[in-house]
């Protein structure tokens, strides 16, 4: 049994990489979890791993898992509402709860230079990372508006800071779109109890980049990168580049460097 005061986080794209590690680190901080992705077997293994690692045992930690493809809009609403109902509790016996935080994290990094035959990959990235994020934000805000409270976290990327060339062009544009969705919502909700954070990760080891031929010297481990993400989320920062070094100062350079200098850097 969990108490009414236990807080609950819903994470999409929780089957690997940053999403799975956010689940581990947030569980260690005492949160109950609602986890979704397409690979349900991975989510079930992750649930077992987190429960086994919990010193208080599986009687106090609650983790619900559901299969979700964020490109299936009907399924997004169905899954989010299903999690809301899982954690609804009961107002009559004082166990009323809800979903306290939703992390829109699912994403992929396929891409090719525009006009080189890679439209399918670019479209898949655009649909999953931007249209999928819009659908998740709609479903999340439906829950938060009904509750009157909540914390929406959108995972963008440092690549959102500036248009990027070649195989990164579409990906960077989707992540700029995600950041603008979050900023628009934050503008609307300023001063209200529903909070919105946008997170701009730099290079963090995950499945997405494990096959990248040239690993960046700026790449950090999944644990370290996600620790920085979780710290920013817990502080309900409006926006955060993570890890802060070197990415916070780099964001200024990325946004404002003249193009010839920027091209040398990236
Ligand atoms: N790692 C980095 O350096 C970095 C930097 C900046 C931003 N990010 C962002 O961080 C987020 C997580 O990426 P990651 O690095 O952790 O990569 P990852 O290990 O490949 O994880 C991606 C996650 O997204 C899920 N996903 C992909 N397509 C989906 C779909 N159609 N429906 C539902 N879930 C889907 C995957 O689950 P299933 O395949 O099981 O569905 C997986 O759990 C992404 O939004 C990415 O753009 C990562």
How large a percentage of the chain has pLDDT more than 90?
87
Average the pLDDT over each of 41-45, 74-78, 209-213, 248-252 and give the range with the smallest value: 209-213
Q: Which residues contact 45 (CB under 8 A, 6 or more apart)?
A: none
Helix or strand run (H / E) with residue 12: strand 8-12
Angle 93-99-105 (CA atoms, 0-180°, nearest 5)?
165
What are the pLDDT digits (tens) for 175-206? 999 999 999 999 999 999 999 999 999 999 99
Mutate to test the pocket of ligand 1, among 106, 129, 159, 232 (most ligand atoms within 8 A of CB): 106
Q: Which residues contact 12 (CB under 8 A, 6 or more apart)?
A: 19, 36, 37, 68, 70, 102, 103, 104, 105, 106, 136
Determine the distance from the C-alpha atom of residue 173 to the mean position of all C-alpha atoms in its chain, rounded to a whole number: 17
Write down the pLDDT at residue 15. 98
pLDDT band at residue 211 using 50, 70 and 90 as cut-offs: confident
Q: What average pLDDT score do residues 119-141 get?
A: 98
What are the pLDDT digits (tens) for 92-115? 776 767 999 999 999 999 999 999
Place of tokens 């805000």: 141
> How far away, in angstroms, is 183 Cα from ligand 1 center?
21
What are the pLDDT digits (tens) for 18-62? 999 999 999 999 999 999 999 999 999 999 999 999 877 667 789
pTM metric for this prediction: 0.96
Judged against a pLDDT cut of 80, whether residue 89 lies above it is answered with no
Instruction: Tell which atom from ligand 1 comes closest to the C-alpha of 109.
Output: 47
- Of 15 and 213, the one with more pLDDT: 15
pLDDT band at residue 213 using 50, 70 and 90 as cut-offs: low
Write down the pLDDT at residue 60. 78
Q: What average pLDDT score do residues 5-27 get?
A: 95
Contacts 24+ apart (CB under 8 A), 56-62: 59/1, 60/1, 60/2, 61/2, 61/27, 61/32, 62/2, 62/6, 62/8, 62/32, 62/33, 62/87
Q: How far apart are CA 190 and CA 199, in angstroms?
A: 18
> How far away, in angstroms, is 108 Cα from ligand 1 center?
5
Cβ atoms of residues 10 and 83 within 8 Å = yes
Write down the pLDDT at residue 17. 98
Judged against a pLDDT cut of 70, whether residue 214 lies above it is answered with no
Judged against a pLDDT cut of 80, whether residue 233 lies above it is answered with yes
DSSP state of 15: T
Q: What is the set of active-site residues? A: 171
Any residues with Cβ below 6 Å from ligand 1, and which? Answer: 13-19, 37-39, 42, 68-71, 105-108, 128, 155, 157, 201, 203-204, 206-209
Write down the pLDDT at residue 4. 55
Mean residue pLDDT of the chain comes to 94
> How far away, in angstroms, is 200 Cα from ligand 1 center?
14
Instruction: Tell which atom from ligand 1 comes closest to the C-alpha of 208.
Output: 20
Cβ atoms of residues 10 and 101 within 8 Å = yes
> How far away, in angstroms, is 6 Cα from ligand 1 center?
27
Nearest Cα residue to 14 out of 200, 153, 178: 153
pLDDT band at residue 174 using 50, 70 and 90 as cut-offs: very high
- For atom 8 of ligand 1, which residue has the closest CA? 157
Judged against a pLDDT cut of 60, whether residue 2 lies above it is answered with no
């Amino acid at each position: 049994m969990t108490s009414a005061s236990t807080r609950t986080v819903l994470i999409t794209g929780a089957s690997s990489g940053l999403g799975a590690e956010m689940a581990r680190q947030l569980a260690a901080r005492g949160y109950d979890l609602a986890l979704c992705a397409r690979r349900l077997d991975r989510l079930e293994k992750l649930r077992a791993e987190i429960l086994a690692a919990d010193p208080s045992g599986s009687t106090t930690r609650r983790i619900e898992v559901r299969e979700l493809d964020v490109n299936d809009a009907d399924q997004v609403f169905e899954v989010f509402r299903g999690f809301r109902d899982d954690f609804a509790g009961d107002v009559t016996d004082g166990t009323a709860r809800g979903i306290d935080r939703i992390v829109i994290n699912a994403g992929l990094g396929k891409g090719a230079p525009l006009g080189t035959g890679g439209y399918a990959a670019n479209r898949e990235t655009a649909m999953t990372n931007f249209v999928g994020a819009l659908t998740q934000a709609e479903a999340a805000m439906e829950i938060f508006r009904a509750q009157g409270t909540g914390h929406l976290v959108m995972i963008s990327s440092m690549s959102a800071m500036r248009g990027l060339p070649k195989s990164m062009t579409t990906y960077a544009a989707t992540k700029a779109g995600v950041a603008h969705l979050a900023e628009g919502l934050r503008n609307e909700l300023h001063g209200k109890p529903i909070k919105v954070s946008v997170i701009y990760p730099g290079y963090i080891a995950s499945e997405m980049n494990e096959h990248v031929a040239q690993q960046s010297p700026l790449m950090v481990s999944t644990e370290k990168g996600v620790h920085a993400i979780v710290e920013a989320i817990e502080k309900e920062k409006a926006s955060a580049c993570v890890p802060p070094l070197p990415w916070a100062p780099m964001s200024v350079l990325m946004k404002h460097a003249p193009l010839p200098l920027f091209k040398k850097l990236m």
